[in-house]
Amino acid sequence: MKLIIAIVQDEDAGRLIGKLMDEGFGVTKLATTGGFLRAGNTTLLVGVEDNKFDDAMKVIEKVCKSRKQMAASPSTLSGTQGAYSSYPIEVTVGGATVFVLSVDQFIKL
């Protein structure tokens, strides 16, 4: 058995949860915050049997596409120590960061 930990953008979370559940996968949703953009994201925990792992990964890959987005980036003002200004930069968001763990035992009470 495998435990998939998928960190996805909030924008993708609802569709991904729906698709995974439609395919018969149980999903636990955790609200989390990313470190890079300090933006909300969603961490999903999905327990899958080894023979269903590829099917679950295909769903994640299909739903979670990366895309470009404008974000504010802090920068220091020249000549003014400790003063900051933000300017827009284009960043790639979306997709999924996925961790896969082998599970020795699964107990459902």
- Domain of residue 88, CATH code: 3.30.70.120
Range of the domain at 92: 2-102
Find how far residue 76's CA is from the centre of its chain: 30
List pLDDT tens digits, range 42-79: 999 999 999 999 999 999 999 998 766 666 665 545 55
Residue 46 inside a domain? The answer is yes
Q: What is the pLDDT of residues 10-29, one digit of tens each?
A: 888 999 999 999 999 999 99
108: in domain: no
Pairing of strands 66-76, 84-94: antiparallel
Position 107 in a domain? no
Q: Is 60 exposed, middle or buried (0-12, 13-18, 19+ CB in 10 A)?
A: buried
In sequence order, which ranges of 1-109 are alpha helices (DSSP H)?
Answer: 10-22, 53-63
Residue 96 resides in a domain: yes
Task: State the total domains in the chain.
Answer: 1
